[in-house]
Structure formats: structure tokens, C-alpha cells
Amino acid sequence: QKEVEQNSGPLSVPEGAIASLNCTYSDRGSQSFFWYRQYSGKSPELIMFIYSNGDKEDGRFTAQLNKASQYVSLLIRDSQPSDSATYLCAALLSGSARQLTFGSGTQLTVLP
Amino acid sequence: EPEVTQTPSHQVTQMGQEVILRCVPISNHLYFYWYRQILGQKVEFLVSFYNNEISEKSEIFDDQFSVERPDGSNFTLKIRSTKLEDSAMYFCASSAGTSGGVNSYNEQFFGPGTRLTVL
């Protein structure tokens, strides 16, 4: 079974700190990875995607991919209370063109 | 900013009844999807649709489910005979689609969801 694993948390950080969210995947052939934010009772909102090893930055967000370790992370700099949500990691697994496999999500709370 | 829309926001039905969930994908997108999320659980893929046919489906998407693009804008999910375990949030998503290749990406944008409650 090809899985995407996340620490469910909850993860609490003070306002202004860096929040670090982690994700591992079992399918070595996975090529593309996505981070979504989901507020309680709402739909997933795409934050960013990454498919090359290394870092990708977009504003306060940095995604990191290490294919050798099968590890994806999301860093949120200068965390704000409005960042409090569940963060979902999703992977496009090998053998699939379009099917996203989601992790269970990490609940982040940013304390004012 | 263009967005995926879904109707209704909440659907309550009796077990065994048919339901149709509706979605309007982003207008220039070519790929359409249905996902579901049972309360407290992971988001699960159901089906993807391209060029008027199913391109991938999961084990969840059995004969009780069907999808259709009845016109140029709507995309529907039909559940023929609902079961209690079909109660979930159903999300429609769409993506622009790119050419193939190992580094092609697939940004999928989700609609607000339809909460289906089967009694």
C-alpha cells in the first residue's frame, strides 16, 4: 500500500516563529508533491507544489523535497494566528497520472 | 480569481436514494476530479475525468458511482443507491492539465464541497 504519512500533531508554535511540517512517502517513484491547507469544515486550499529535489520558496512558505530520504517538508516563516489550520501533504504516486494520495494532515496552532 | 463551485452545499438523503452532486470546474481546466473526506479521515481520491471519459478511478468508485459532464460547464457525481457509509464531504477539483512527462505537474484546485448526509 503506497502511503503518505504525516505527524498528526497538534503542533503549536508562537506567533512569529517558524513552523515546520513534515511528510514521508513510501512510493520511491512518486514525482510530485503538494501542500494544502485546510481550515476546519472547509476544503483543501493549495499552498504550493514541488517536484525537484531541494527547496522551493513562495512568500513565507518554503517546501523542501529530499527524494533519497522520501521526505517532504513545509516551513512557514513568521507564523501568524491565521495560519492555524490542518496542513495536508499529497503525492502523485508512480503509476498514476492524476490521482493525489493525501496524508492525514498535521494540525497547526499559532499562538498569539 | 476563478474558482470551482459546487452545489448543493449540504444534501440530506435517505439510504437507498439516488443523489447527484454538481460542480462547475474552473472554465479553462481540462481535468476534473471527485474526492471525498469522511469526517476526521483523510481526503480520498474517487475519480478523474478527461476528454469526456474516466481516466482513473479508485476502489471506492464502484458501480454505485458515476460521473458525467452533461454540458460545457457542469461536472456531476451520481450515487445510485446511497449507503450510510457514503456520508462524507465530497470535493470536486479541477486542473489545467499539462503535457505528459515525468516532471509534469498537476495543480488541483478544490471546490468548497458538498456535505452528504445519508440517514
Could you read off the pLDDT of B65-98 as tens digits, one per residue?
999 998 888 999 999 999 999 999 999 999 987 6
Percent of chain B at pLDDT above 70? 93
* Helix (H), strand (E) counts: chain B: 0, 11
Q: Per the CB < 8 Å rule, is A105 touching B42?
A: yes
Please give the sequence-ordered ranges of beta strands (E in DSSP) within chain B, or none if there are none.
Answer: 5-7, 10-13, 19-24, 31-37, 43-50, 53-57, 65-68, 75-79, 88-95, 109-110, 114-118
Q: Does the pLDDT at position A97 exceed 80?
A: no
What average pLDDT score do residues A20-37 get?
93
Q: Per the CB < 8 Å rule, is B107 touching A101?
A: no
Cα A99 to Cα B57: distance, rounded to the nearest angstrom: 8
Contact partners, residue A98, CB within 8 Å, separation at least 6: A92, B31, B33, B48, B50, B55, B56, B95, B106, B108
Q: Per the CB < 8 Å rule, is A90 touching B35?
A: no
Q: Does the pLDDT at position B102 exceed 70?
A: no
Residues A79-93 have pLDDT tens digits of: 999 999 999 999 998
Q: Does the pLDDT at position A23 exceed 50?
A: yes
Per DSSP, what are the bridge partners of residue A107? A86
Which candidate from A45, A51, A90 shows the least CB-CB separation from B105? A51
pLDDT of residue A93: 83
Q: Per the CB < 8 Å rule, is A101 touching B45?
A: yes
Assess A42–B contact: CB distance below 8 Å, yes or no: yes
